[in-house]
Amino acid sequence: MKINLIKIHFYEVFKMIELKDYQRRAVENLHRKVEYALQSLENEVVIFQSPTGSGKTVMVSEMLKKLVKSRKDDKKFSFVWVSVRMLHEQSKEKLEKYYEDDRLLQCSYFEDLEDRRIGENEILFINWHSINKKDINIFVRENEQDNNLNSVIQNTKEEGREIILVIDESHHTAKSEKSRELIEVIGPKVTIEVSATPHLKENVSEIEKVHLSDVKTEEMIKSEISVNPEFLNIKVESKSSDELVIGQALKKREESAKMYKGEGSNISPLVLIQLPDKKSNLITKKDDVLKILKDKFNVTEENGKLAVWLSEDKSDTLANIEKNDNEVDVLVFKQAIALGWDCPRASILVIFRESKSFTFTIQTIGRIMRMPELKYYLKEPELNKGFIFTNLPNIEITEDYAKDYVTVYESKRDNERYKEISIPSIFLKRQRERTRLSGKFAEIFMKIAEETNLKKKITFQPSRIVSPIIADGRIVDIDKTGEIEHKGTIEVRLNHTELQNQFDKFIVQNCTPYAPTDSSDRMKTAIYQFFNKKFRMKKYDPQAQRITLGKENVHAFVDTINLAKEKYKTEVVEQLSEVREKKEIPKWEVPVIVSYNSRYKRESHPKSIVKPFYTRKPSEPEQLFMELLDNSDKVEWWFKNGETEIKYFAVLYKDENGFERAFYVDFIVWFKDGTIGLFDTKSGMTAKDAKYRAEGLQEYIQRNKDKKLWGGIAIYVNGTWRYNDKEKYEYNPNDLSSWNILEI
């Protein structure tokens, strides 16, 4: 029985999906870079590096559409899309749905090709895994039917089409010798390497990278991955290590299922159990795992809670396993088969000991990274995490950004000492950054261009853009620094690459005060749209760059850009600050569990309510304040607060511009007399700049008098702790008469 593991409802999402901000930016950049690579006289490589879960296939599909729509100089394209194992089938079906409405591109397998050639705007999907076996020669070299890749490629090129090769999940393919052989056979004009961890090094002309932080900001993937949570206080008893990790994974699944119901969601979380990839002990481990699941937890194929996905054994229950409300609780699989598999409801991964250590990569994490509904959950933030349960003795993380992503330490609230405080808190959902231009800039630029009549101000045939080159230079003293002797310079007209570089430099220089990395493409789009609408030029036309940079025109463009930036600030940036999504938490409590990544270190603080206590380079005032609290007879317990997440405590205040902000107070302290202290430690300039937060905190304390709250900004001066609880905050280091002595 052949089981279709691709979700029908996922196709509809894929087809109708509205690109996220980072996806639109990546598509534009990748399209431009492929266009430039196509202009080269050599065969070029373009790297597209994007994290697992970021929507790589969606972005590449959209880029290919743009490439076909905006082709220049009567160029015609044929495409080859290579994926590992069965991913070529998955990719083909995804792209067919994506292109269903406009039919711009046709998706085919080798046997579907007409007249042994890849047609115009046709994508040939190839399974790299199969052609990398010993029979690669049968596929590539000549045969009696003349139906081989060599002939197909030759026939395609003879019809005047350039071939673009897409290598999907290239970290599994691009390094092998046979892979390089295949690239030589295809001889693509441009190779696009798509991977979270690319490997191609030779002839790389362009690199486009999507950052992990951007994908998390759009709530596409989990905020973090927690490894073996709550294991510090676990009772091992007589359980085997395999039974222990499986049991904890199933317990976490039940907890998550209840949380989803609390969020009003029908998601049924899935536990993935990964068997070792070594064939020698695969059967034994499989039998052991199935026995534990059946005897200890009543999870079997018969009762519908278990599915098995191995090359030699596939369950009937695999059908529709990716659907969010599917009844299967556990999937047992082998590492190799699950590569690239999409199942967003999978949030828990079990990995067994294979050797003394295990290397965590973004691919390992990738299977449980996706958010099932492409959003973070505010009521149950634990659902924004993925979980790994393992009996490995230690873990090595290879990618640097995985160190910030995987949490390896956990603290747990001491519920025997904890007293419920039920105080109101606030959470302001992260707004789009105010330091970059958005898509609205192009619209504003066009309005300013109309108002200032930019079209009539510019010359369509400006002076040549030239580059000075040193002429007749000579070095007399090799040890002498400075400019070498030369007779003069000659001026040479810029070629396409030099013109592009100068245009890029012009854009970067004029992005200020917005970050060029995130804003330059928006500004380029604005200028290209101007030329398209006013002069009917195609996007990326080098003539648009020449006109912009011409000495007769450049100042007019700079003036228009500056006016557009000013209007953008008032119409977009300042408005963004007023519409942050606000969520009130009426009864906030100290989190039951707090996770930390490997950059944190353990410290001893006996009165911290979460144990063990982890910190990452506390400031000197924070360190001194924790010592004060630990040594105080009046303190029952204290909590070192975090930032930016809904699980941490925050007070609403307004900044100097009247915009709402969240103030995450450093310390929440429960005193033995039943009062609750809210303190934020400062020193020097930080104390001087704390006015609006301090006044917001006092307003909060007055508004919640029934909670027995007190506190304020705390400073350490001449061996004494003082705090300010005044309605109007003032800080003068030479006059602290308005500050109270903190007697605890």
pTM of the model: 0.59
pLDDT of residue 3 exceeding 60, the answer is no
β-pair type (161-168, 224-227) = unpaired
**Which of 289, 288, 290, 285 minimizes the C-alpha distance to 302?**
290
What is the mean pLDDT of the segment spanning 350-377? 74
Average pLDDT value for residue range 538-560: 90
> Where does the pLDDT of residue 250 fall: very low under 50, low under 70, confident under 90, or very high at 90 and above?
very high
**Does 303 score more than 50 pLDDT?**
yes
CB 332 within 8 A of CB 19: no
Q: Is the pLDDT of residue 377 over 50?
A: yes
Model pLDDT, residue 491: 56
Q: What pLDDT band is residue 2 in, cutting at 50, 70 and 90? A: very low
Per-residue pLDDT at 102: 66
With cut-offs at 50, 70 and 90, classify the pLDDT of residue 729: very high
Per-residue pLDDT for 601 more than 80?
yes
| Residue-by-residue DSSP string for 490-514 | EEEE--HHHHHHHHHHHHHHT-TTS
Task: Name the DSSP class of 463.
Answer: P
Separation of alpha carbons 282 and 275, rounded Å: 7
pLDDT of residue 461: 87
**pLDDT score at 644:** 79
Q: What distances in angstroms separate CA 169 from CA 128, 261, 358, one per listed residue?
A: 10, 35, 21
Using 50, 70 and 90 to split pLDDT, how confident is the model at 239?
Answer: confident
Chain-centroid distance, C-alpha 239: 38
pLDDT at 343: 84
The confidence score (pLDDT) of residue 354 equals: 62
pLDDT band at 214 (very low <50, low <70, confident <90, very high): confident
More confident position, 211 or 124: 124
Check residue 69 and give its pLDDT.
85
- Range 472-487 average pLDDT: 48
pLDDT of residue 161: 93
How high does pLDDT run on average in the chain? Answer: 82
pLDDT over 90 for what percent of the chain?
A: 44
| pLDDT above 50 (res 322) | yes
pLDDT classification of 17: cutoffs 50, 70, 90: low
Residue 123 pLDDT level (bands cut at 50, 70, 90): very high
Winning range, highest mean pLDDT, from 67-71, 352-356, 680-684: 680-684
Closest CA relative to residue 672, chosen from 633, 704, 617, 640: 633
Q: How far is CA 714 from CA 396, 559, 599, 677, 685, in A?
A: 40, 48, 27, 11, 13
Q: Does 65 or 576 have the greater pLDDT score?
A: 65
| Domains of the chain with bracketed CATH | 8-216 (3.40.50.300), 224-413 (3.40.50.300), 440-576 (no CATH), 592-741 (3.40.1350)
What pLDDT, on a 0 to 100 scale, did the predictor assign at position 5? 40
pLDDT of 521 higher than 90:
no
pLDDT band of 261, cuts 50, 70, 90? very high
Predicted local confidence at residue 9, as pLDDT: 39
